[in-house]
Amino acid sequence: MSTSILEDIFLKRSQQKKKTSPLNYKERLFVLTADKISYYDYDIEKGKRKGLKGSVDIDKIKCVETVVPEENCHSDKMFPFQIVYDEGPLYIFAKTADIRKQWIHKLKEVVRNNKDLAQKFHPCFWVDGQWLCCHQEVKQALGCRVIESKNVCRRISRKPLPPTPKEDEACVRQEKASRPLPPQPTPSPAPPPSSEKTVTAMYDYTPMNPQDLPLTNGEEYTILEMSDTNWWKARDRHGQEGYIPSNYVVEAGNELEKYEWFCKNMNRSQAENLLKKENKEGAYLVRDSSKAGKYTVSVFSKATGEAGGNCRHYNICTTQDGQFYLAEKHCFGTIPELIHYHQHNSAGMVSRLRHVAALEERHAPSTAGLGYGVWEIDPRHLTFLRELGNGQFGVVKHGKWQGKHDVAIKMIKEGSMSEDDFIEEAKVMMKLRHPHLVQLYGVSTKQRPIYIVTEFLSNGCLLSYLRETLKRPQPIQLLEMCKDVSEGMAYLESQQYIHRDLAARNCLVDDYGTIKVTDFGLSRYVLDDEYTSSAGTKFPVRWSPPEVLLYCKFSSKSDIWAFGVLMWEIYTLGKMPFERFNNTEIIDKLLSGYRLYRPQQANEKVYRIMQDCWREKAEDRPTFEVLVSYIQDLLYELQEDNSEIQTSWRFPEIL
Ligand code: ADP
Ligand code: MG
């Protein structure tokens, strides 16, 4: 038996593995060793350890943190802490703050090298099917607070977490009463000075203005300045300096993004579309799995038994000592090594990995503007092509910038917009950059009409896409659409930016089927009372919560309400919300508690999300950050249920 590092008697809360299990507290002797934390029944009189009641393997632990004590709690429950592992949190109550500190410190030390350390946690208890901090009702829901300890920073974080939005008031209030302990000091190597940062280009970049530096896919560059998050000053290996789009490069160390088979931000439906379109035996790609931080290999094969062939998805698994595998017998230190092996050996997969999928179709992401510091666009550089539609501000056209870059151009009908205010705001909007927001490239304001130039999305508006293009979509596809929008909105929320007119008509679809949110904040510059006054005929009453209809109170929480309605539009394939009612009737109905019905395609869990968005009080609605994790969990569940996901090499043989 390994020697004990710490031993103490604590109060332990029952784990409520089922919603109905009783909540009780028992005194247990806790013993921490290098590989387990175990708890025993204890004979206090004789001072003797009795039977083992349970244990948690150290390498399964995802996080160790304090917990905010419940209000008016008994004195023996004032110093709780939590050990989070696969089965949820284990709550333990120490007798004093010092003892708790000592245990947390030790535990953090022993779990330091665990593979699955969490980046977020719930600072308050899980009670009766709900997290007290964020009111999420899924026990596995991603934490609502970022862990500030250093062992998180040392991990390679693929997607930077958005800044924590304002916490739930209740949570902040409780938090003040007992702040979590400051992070424990753990030695970590000092980061290299930022001037020494080396990056690798993932795409070619041709300068759009004289201050820019060209990029060649695969080459390394030294970063000299990062004061603008979207455009970094860099030096190439010949000593030439200039600005580069920061989303075209990847930091040395984030190896995967360098590989041509890696498709960041691609979901399962998009991977299937791409692979099926290509229709090549053994075409493959590696993508982010719906489970954060994990990866999935998607392969196309004609040997699946289905007519015309089909896709298989294999999760890349990790062993306890951090090796990667698709087939348990073949483990590798890195994912590229694993892919290299399976390029030559199918080893249980439906096909070996023969062709990187649709290479020629991969296009570079949009840049924040058309070159560093450029936001005024010379109209002589624009060529007008087809008319795309007609909106609140007039005609929108597809065009080219400098003859080669696709753009959408909104030609602002005179008298339809308060132009000066918008032009000021455009500088702020240009800095908003996210894969699920339609990028504003710039404006042409020296002539009339003025133009707003944005990223072009070939599949047009989401509402028409739902109504006309989508044919018998799978449940996963609909949820992926909701996820896209929620991620774009979570970014806006993190920037404290309110959309004010979120709806399917204000989302666009690109050629892969990715959804992006557009027209954020634009409604503030509309000069049309019918649109801006909540009593107007064009006001988005059907997407508005009570506080907007009654007091014009816009917030990220009113965006949340609109998001619920947008989910409803997605799940009804573009029906008009409250179809049979006029605006006055809708307001009456809403105020008396009436809500949109559950669309046929939406299951109970999906409908619960919509209902959460339509809680009467704004503060009771979730944040977008929380919604993203809800949706991610649901997507994961859906994929788990789906027999096509294989987690190890044995499954293909069974199927
Ligand atoms: P407004 O918001 O000014 O009322 P919209 O943005 O709705 O106008 O534009 C009208 C139509 O033009 C949309 O329904 C869509 O079909 C098309 N459109 C607008 N922006 C783009 C774009 N960036 N890419 C592709 N199509 C677009
Ligand atoms: Mg619009």
Least confident window among 121-125, 332-336, 437-441, 637-641:
637-641
Q: Which residue is closest in CA terms to ligand 1's atom 26?
A: 460
Provide the terminal-to-terminal Cα distance of the chain, rounded to the nearest Å: 42
Structure tokens at 111: 């779990």
* Cα of 522 from ligand 1 centre, angstroms: 13
Q: Report the catalytic residues.
A: 501
Residues of the domain holding 439: 379-455
Least confident window among 237-251, 317-331, 554-568:
317-331
Does the residue 208 lie in any domain? Answer: yes
Q: Are residues 468 and 599 in the same domain?
A: yes
pLDDT, mean of residues 504-519: 96
* Cα of 498 from ligand 1 centre, angstroms: 19
Would you state the pLDDT for residue 142?
78
Which residues 6+ apart lie within 8 Å of 507 measured at CB? 461, 462, 463, 485, 515, 516, 517, 518, 566
Does the residue 38 lie in any domain? Answer: yes
Q: Are residues 618 and 473 in the same domain?
A: yes
Task: Work out the mean pLDDT of the chain and round it to a whole number.
Answer: 85
- The pLDDT > 90 percentage for the chain reads 51
Cα distance between residue 629 and residue 131, in whole Å: 14
Cα distance between residue 196 and residue 146, in whole Å: 28
Would you state the pLDDT for residue 112?
86
Size of the chain, expressed as the number of residues it contains:
655
Would you state the pLDDT for residue 554?
96
Q: Which residue is closest in CA terms to ligand 1's atom 4?
A: 391
Strands 283-288 and 355-356: parallel
Which residues 6+ apart lie within 8 Å of 600 measured at CB? none
Q: Are residues 36 and 58 in the same domain?
A: yes
Does the residue 631 lie in any domain? Answer: no
Would you state the pLDDT for residue 88?
85
* Cα of 465 from ligand 1 centre, angstroms: 13
Does the residue 654 lie in any domain? Answer: no
Q: Are residues 289 and 239 in the same domain?
A: no
Would you state the pLDDT for residue 293?
74
Residue in this structure with the two tokens 């939005």, named with its chain if needed = 165
CB of 461 closer than 6 A to ligand 1?
A: yes
Cα distance between residue 200 and residue 202, in whole Å: 6
Q: Are residues 136 and 32 in the same domain?
A: yes
* Cα of 268 from ligand 1 centre, angstroms: 27
CB of 456 closer than 6 A to ligand 1?
A: yes
Would you state the pLDDT for residue 255?
67
Better pLDDT: 174 or 592: 592
The SS3 of residue 60 is helix
Better pLDDT: 36 or 116: 36
pLDDT, mean of residues 408-424: 95
Statement: residue 74 has pLDDT above 70? yes
Q: Are residues 480 and 610 in the same domain?
A: yes
pLDDT digits (tens, 9 = 90+) for 41-60: 888 788 888 889 899 999 99
Q: Are residues 432 and 555 in the same domain?
A: no
What's the total number of domains in the chain? Answer: 5
CB of 393 closer than 6 A to ligand 1?
A: yes
Residue 479: CATH number of its domain: 1.10.510.10
Would you state the pLDDT for residue 577?
98
Does the residue 387 lie in any domain? Answer: yes
Q: Are residues 497 and 610 in the same domain?
A: yes
Would you state the pLDDT for residue 322?
83
Q: Are residues 480 and 618 in the same domain?
A: yes
pLDDT digits (tens, 9 = 90+) for 345-396: 888 888 999 999 876 666 777 887 888 877 899 999 999 999 999 999 999 9
Would you state the pLDDT for residue 578?
97
Look up the pTM and report it.
0.66
CB of 392 closer than 6 A to ligand 1?
A: yes
Per-residue confidence band for 177, with pLDDT thresholds at 50, 70 and 90: very low
Better pLDDT: 608 or 206: 608
Cα distance between residue 335 and residue 238, in whole Å: 32
Better pLDDT: 25 or 451: 451
Number of Cβ atoms within 10 Å of the Cβ of 507: 27
Q: Which residue is closest in CA terms to ligand 1's atom 19?
A: 396
Strands 317-318 and 324-325: antiparallel
Q: Are residues 264 and 252 in the same domain?
A: no
pLDDT digits (tens, 9 = 90+) for 565-613: 999 999 999 999 999 999 999 999 999 999 999 999 999 999 999 999 9
Least confident window among 15-19, 267-271, 535-539, 578-582:
15-19
Q: Are 29 and 38 in contact (CB under 8 A)?
A: no
Element (H, E) at 429: helix 419-431
Sequential DSSP letters for 342-384: HHH--TTSSS---EETTGGG--PPPPSSSSTT--BPPGGGEEE
Atom of ligand 1 nearest to the CA of 392: 4
Per-residue confidence band for 182, with pLDDT thresholds at 50, 70 and 90: very low
Atom of ligand 1 nearest to the CA of 458: 25
Would you state the pLDDT for residue 361?
64
Cα distance between residue 245 and residue 230, in whole Å: 6
Q: Are 147 and 119 in contact (CB under 8 A)?
A: yes
pLDDT, mean of residues 205-210: 89
Better pLDDT: 637 or 293: 637
8-state DSSP, 237: T
Residue 138: CATH number of its domain: 2.30.29.30
Would you state the pLDDT for residue 593?
96
Question: CA 4 → CA 36, 217, 279, 627, distances in Å?
Answer: 9, 53, 58, 42
Q: Are residues 422 and 547 in the same domain?
A: no
CB of 299 closer than 6 A to ligand 1?
A: no
Instruction: Cis check for the bond before 545: say yes or no (omega within 30 of 0).
Output: no
Kindly report each contact of residues 276-281 with a partner whose C-beta sits within 8 Å and lies 24 or more positions away, as own/partner: 276/300, 276/308, 276/309, 276/310, 276/311, 277/358, 278/355, 278/357, 278/358, 279/308, 279/309, 280/354, 280/355, 281/309, 281/351, 281/354
